[in-house]
Amino acid sequence: MRALTVSSPGIAPTLTDTSIPLPDRGEIRVKIAACGLNFADLLMVKGTYQDTPPLPFILGMEVSGTIDSLGEGVTGFAPGDRVAVFGGQGGLAEFGCFDAARAVKLPDTMPFTEAAAFQVAYGTSHLALDHRARLQPGETLLVLGAAGGVGLTAVEIGKLMGATVIACARGAAKLEAANAAGADHLIDASTQDIRAEVKALGGADVVYDPVGGEQWEAAFRACNPEARLIPIGFASGDVPQVKTNHLLVKNLSVLGVYWGGYLAFRPDVLTASLATLMQWHAEGKLRPHVSATFPLEEANKGLDMLRDRRSTGKVVITVQDL
């Protein structure tokens, strides 16, 4: 089979030929239709992600496809089932073996391209806003990087949860994507003063931040008393340092969120969250935004688009037709 393999830190992954894997006990083998790209994939290529596998490894964190083989002891699934899986690696290949506990069956209403773009982005935002920040109807949610893979989902989910959503992104095209996702107010991070604009809108009760750097600092200063700040990632490359004395004065809370980490210590939280999200999708309340697709042999073009921040929503690699 073909697979996109990382062999050396900082070197672009290459398409290689390798053997089709056999599922171990508790695993399913998936004939992969599509793989969603994530910012974490870029960090894995650099070797700086917290869960980077030992070299060499096949890139690709989340996939969709059809089960074609079951390992010993697997129950609840059958060959032919349409599934999505967060495997953490191994997704940019024609076949992959994954822990069955990480797989979810797909509703017939969800195409493979949307399924490959769904779990990490929507799962992260729902977990962050519902389980961690306890976002309440009527509160004001500020979403930084609001046109990115997770940012757009935070806009959508925030609106579904009854919040007033302020979307912050760079440029008219990205702001239009956030507007289409339901944002109530738009801030252009390239031309406007984030702190001043948010304060003029009454301040933020919850801040969702996949960017970090100067935008975090501006959002921090625009928080209302008892606001909750959620660092999701650091796309700017600048990891901000929290001034705890300022937390004290304004009674602020900073709530870290690492979606994949819940697989190890609270998988029930992810299961419940994904069930809610799948139901919302089936009811037409969520509209996954895939801005670009590339075939497997052009996967590096997709990674470049992500790296250069030229995408809105998700970039998906189509692996094979099913």
For residue 161, give the CATH number of its domain: 3.90.180.10
Query: Do 140 and 209 have their domain in common?
Result: yes
Q: Look at residue 277 in the predicted model and tell me its pLDDT.
A: 94
Cα 3 to Cα 34: distance, rounded to the nearest angstrom: 13
Q: Does residue 270 form part of some domain? A: no
* For residue 109, pLDDT beyond 90: no
Mean pLDDT in residue range 153-178: 96
Q: Does residue 282 form part of some domain? A: no
Q: Does residue 280 form part of some domain? A: no
Q: Look at residue 237 in the predicted model and tell me its pLDDT.
A: 86
Q: Look at residue 267 in the predicted model and tell me its pLDDT.
A: 86
Contact by Cβ (8 Å): 46, 9: yes
Q: Does residue 176 form part of some domain? A: yes
Query: Do 129 and 238 have their domain in common?
Result: yes
Query: Do 111 and 130 have their domain in common?
Result: no
Q: Characterize the bridge pairing of strands 82-86 and 103-105.
A: antiparallel
Determine the distance from the C-alpha atom of residue 276 to the mean position of all C-alpha atoms in its chain, rounded to a whole number.
16
Contact by Cβ (8 Å): 143, 168: yes
End-to-end CA distance of the chain: 15
Query: pLDDT digits over 222-245, tens only?
Result: 999 999 999 998 888 899 999 899
Residues forming beta bridges with residue 294, ordered by sequence position: 317
Query: Do 295 and 233 have their domain in common?
Result: no
Query: Do 154 and 252 have their domain in common?
Result: yes
pTM: 0.87
Which residue among 241, 259, 277 closes a domain?
259
Report CA-CA distances (Å) from 56 to 18, 45, 88, 139, 297: 12, 11, 14, 46, 18
Task: Supply the range of the domain harboring residue 228.
Answer: 121-259
Query: Do 192 and 302 have their domain in common?
Result: no
Which helix (H) or strand (E) is 223 found in, with range?
A: strand 223-231
Query: Do 75 and 156 have their domain in common?
Result: no
* For residue 151, pLDDT beyond 90: yes
Report CA-CA distances (Å) from 137 to 165, 251, 296: 11, 20, 42
Contact by Cβ (8 Å): 182, 165: yes
Higher pLDDT, 263 or 80: 80
Question: What is the total count of domains within the chain?
Answer: 2
Mean pLDDT in residue range 287-308: 94
Query: pLDDT digits over 31-55, tens only?
Result: 999 999 999 999 999 999 988 999 9
Query: Do 151 and 255 have their domain in common?
Result: yes
Query: Do 167 and 90 have their domain in common?
Result: no
Q: Look at residue 209 in the predicted model and tell me its pLDDT.
A: 97
Q: Does residue 133 form part of some domain? A: yes
Which residue among 244, 259, 274 closes a domain?
259
Residue 53, token pair as written in the block: 């596998």
* For residue 208, pLDDT beyond 80: yes
* For residue 147, pLDDT beyond 90: yes
Average pLDDT, the chain: 94
Query: Do 233 and 300 have their domain in common?
Result: no
Contacts of 82 (CB under 8 A, 6+ apart): 64, 65, 66, 105, 106, 108, 112, 115
Query: Do 149 and 114 have their domain in common?
Result: no
Binned at pLDDT 50, 70 and 90, residue 287 comes out as confident
Contact by Cβ (8 Å): 77, 103: yes
Query: Do 80 and 135 have their domain in common?
Result: no
255-281 core/surface letters (b: 16 or more CB in 10 A; e: else): eebebbebeeeeeebbeebbeebbebb
Short-list 126, 106, 149, CA closest to 262: 126
Q: Does residue 252 form part of some domain? A: yes
Binned at pLDDT 50, 70 and 90, residue 191 comes out as very high
Q: Does residue 277 form part of some domain? A: no
Percent of the chain topping pLDDT 90: 84
